[in-house]
Chain A
């Protein structure tokens, strides 16, 4: 018994130690962002506390605009995905027709091939349809989400068929059946999918980098990279840390508030889009 207690205490100590190691970069990032710039960076910044870095960065870079862009991007993408995936998932779950297997193959292709790999052909397509440097251009490849369809289809299938049949007899049309019967039942799936979609698009970099040119459309990640890469700036770690803090804060806060929910969402989705 005693031995078990010792082992348990040791394990606790080990996990706390590892957690501290994992948190160290975040600690340094926050501290450096919020203290005065010095010639030498230090893991424990000793210079006085200040908001100057944040203020400087906020004014030097149009982060307000970038925030707006990212929020529009994330929200609109999710709303459209919500519609298209619900429809597709219902169709795949309950309707019988020929060619379904082929659709499944397409869905699997998207699960296996991450969008980032197809930047060249997709960029060419996008410029042919005139969507370069538009918010819609950033969103469009993601508007049919295999992950969401898969997740919702599985949830829909767990709903007893009788529910749908009953609604039909009551005279509900297709939309009403989906809206009133299936969507409420699949609420957890929608929540998971929202978490995944929002964090993916908040954090996405390569595709928006290629699609956007102007501050009117540039999301936070691209803005941060441009700032971090600007040459000849001096002692920029405190500024880059401040900029980084600005862009990660909302998602990080949301995560620490809803830890369990976030982690469960990632597990149930099983993939990042």
Chain B
């Protein structure tokens, strides 16, 4: 009897691994960290979309964890990878990709894409301008575009009318920008605003640098190992900012915060702002005047920065988890979801096929201002991206601020930024 029992027990033990998967109602638990830079509602949207994914895939449960704004999220990711609480996948700045690769935090996705029959088609459908900052050394893909934005010019048409400017003719180049901004400035209103706080100035500056450069290269090399802060063109671009403040007096002196700008625009205290498309919905809902959206005024050519967050998969997680994470990413970036995400938030739809969907078409028909960002994309390039990206941002921002606060001239500030940037990248060159 005893013997029989033990045989039965052994048999059960042997069989159980084979039986278990079939019986498994324990879904695979994945954790995802994500930032949201737009108020609170976008976080809710991500949670809703994830809930839908979880319902469709009962064997996978993705747990989205809202980790604050981009800076906070970068910190959260850096400090939890390799610990028990690490995420399986995360959304982080596209500009973090060299760092993610270099420090072995995120895995390259080439194998996953190659093994997925739809993989290559999926990748090819992404808009080139956004895919640009998915590659790391060796041409590997490390991230998938998700909450992507670009910078546009918002302008107050009523103010244009008031000072005799044509509300349908926003400034097309730097000369017009200076001219219009001066005309628009009065006792209660500044002509133009660019956010100069840390974390924002480097973004706007990427745009001005691209508009002014002569060789198509703005602030850095594509491999993230060199920066070109101190070129005469970039000094000119920074000088333009200083002139707007100190010479033409049509931009508020000092440092205007990114977060304060929409409020000032909506309150009529500034007539034109350089801001993200991510703010479109907010401005549309709250403006009590007629507003327009335009390309960023050109220098030598059109130019605009792209920015925002991409999906990454954590390095070193099991094959099964990788596949589940990939499935989730494909779901979140599916044509329909990417289109709806764009409509709900103001982020730019990341895939060509999105623009064929009925939902996006009817959205653009009812709200043509939203289309400007898409039309500007061919001229857009990634913002400042290098190894040790967070520190590099800080270097550029600090030195821009040094120029803005009058501690240094534009040339001195960018020369110092160049020197500090070179030191930081020394190990990689």
B77-95 CB mask vs A (1 if < 8 Å, else 0) is 0011011110000000000
> Do B85 and A39 have beta carbons less than 8 Å apart?
no
A11-28 CB mask vs B (1 if < 8 Å, else 0) is 000000000000000000
Residue B65 at the chain A interface, CB threshold 8 Å: yes
Cα of A40 to Cα of B260 in the assembled complex, Å: 12
> Do B85 and A233 have beta carbons less than 8 Å apart?
no
Cα of A130 to Cα of B85 in the assembled complex, Å: 8
B38, B69, B266: the one within 8 Å of A226 (CB): B69
Cα of A130 to Cα of B86 in the assembled complex, Å: 11
Contacts of A213 in B (CB 8 A): 33, 65, 67, 76, 80, 85
Contacts of A233 in B (CB 8 A): 38-40, 259
> Do B82 and A127 have beta carbons less than 8 Å apart?
yes
Contacts of B85 in A (CB 8 A): 132-134, 213-214
* Given the contacts A213-B65, A213-B67, A231 and B259 also touching, CB distance less than 8 Å: yes
> Do A230 and B69 have beta carbons less than 8 Å apart?
yes
Chain B, 41-95, CB within 8 A of any chain A CB? 41, 44, 65-69, 72, 76, 79-80, 82-85
A133, A210, A226: the one within 8 Å of B68 (CB): A226
Contacts of A154 in B (CB 8 A): none
> Do B40 and A230 have beta carbons less than 8 Å apart?
yes
* Given the contacts A226-B68, A230-B39, A235 and B80 also touching, CB distance less than 8 Å: no
A132, A210, A229, A230: the one within 8 Å of B83 (CB): A132
Closest Cβ of chain A to B413, distance in Å, is 25
Cα of A210 to Cα of B79 in the assembled complex, Å: 8
A127, A210, A227, A231: the one within 8 Å of B38 (CB): A231
Most buried by B among A39, A230, A231: A231
Contacts of A127 in B (CB 8 A): 79, 82-83
Contacts of B282 in A (CB 8 A): 232, 234
Contacts of A134 in B (CB 8 A): 85
Closest Cβ of chain A to B346, distance in Å, is 9
> Do A234 and B69 have beta carbons less than 8 Å apart?
no
| Residue in chain B with minimal CB distance to A56 | B40
Contacts of B84 in A (CB 8 A): 130, 132-133
> Do A133 and B263 have beta carbons less than 8 Å apart?
no
B217-248 CB mask vs A (1 if < 8 Å, else 0) is 00000000000000000000000000000000
> Do A231 and B263 have beta carbons less than 8 Å apart?
no
Contacts of A215 in B (CB 8 A): 65-66
Contacts of B263 in A (CB 8 A): 39, 234-235
Contacts of A203 in B (CB 8 A): none
Contacts of B38 in A (CB 8 A): 230-233
Contacts of A118 in B (CB 8 A): none
Cα of A33 to Cα of B37 in the assembled complex, Å: 23
Closest Cβ of chain A to B103, distance in Å, is 15
> Do A234 and B36 have beta carbons less than 8 Å apart?
no
Cα of A60 to Cα of B69 in the assembled complex, Å: 15
Cα of A215 to Cα of B64 in the assembled complex, Å: 10
Residue B309 at the chain A interface, CB threshold 8 Å: no
Residue B278 at the chain A interface, CB threshold 8 Å: yes
> Do B69 and A231 have beta carbons less than 8 Å apart?
yes
Contacts of B72 in A (CB 8 A): 226, 229
Residue B7 at the chain A interface, CB threshold 8 Å: no
Closest Cβ of chain A to B360, distance in Å, is 22
Chain A, 208-244, CB within 8 A of any chain B CB? 210, 213-215, 226-227, 229-236
| Residue in chain B with minimal CB distance to A137 | B85
> Do A123 and B79 have beta carbons less than 8 Å apart?
yes
Chain A, 131-154, CB within 8 A of any chain B CB? 132-134
Closest Cβ of chain A to B397, distance in Å, is 15
> Do B65 and A230 have beta carbons less than 8 Å apart?
no
* Given the contacts A40-B267, A234-B282, A133 and B80 also touching, CB distance less than 8 Å: yes
Cα of A229 to Cα of B37 in the assembled complex, Å: 9
Closest Cβ of chain A to B86, distance in Å, is 9
Residue B258 at the chain A interface, CB threshold 8 Å: yes
Contacts of B323 in A (CB 8 A): none
Residue A186 at the chain B interface, CB threshold 8 Å: no
Closest Cβ of chain B to A118, distance in Å, is 16
Residue A87 at the chain B interface, CB threshold 8 Å: no
Cα of A226 to Cα of B286 in the assembled complex, Å: 24
> Do B267 and A39 have beta carbons less than 8 Å apart?
yes
B262-274 CB mask vs A (1 if < 8 Å, else 0) is 1100110000000
Cα of A170 to Cα of B85 in the assembled complex, Å: 52
> Do B266 and A229 have beta carbons less than 8 Å apart?
no
Most buried by A among B33, B41, B66: B66
Residue A68 at the chain B interface, CB threshold 8 Å: no
Contacts of A132 in B (CB 8 A): 79-80, 83-85
Q: A127-B82, A231-B259 are in contact. List 7 more A-B contacts (CB 8 A).
A: A40-B267, A214-B65, A215-B66, A227-B40, A230-B39, A232-B38, A232-B278
**Interface residues, chain B, CB within 8 Å of chain A?**
31, 33, 36-41, 44, 65-69, 72, 76, 79-80, 82-85, 258-259, 262-263, 266-267, 276, 278-279, 282, 286
7 interchain residue pairs of minimum CB distance:
A60-B40, A133-B85, A233-B39, A226-B68, A132-B83, A231-B37, A39-B267
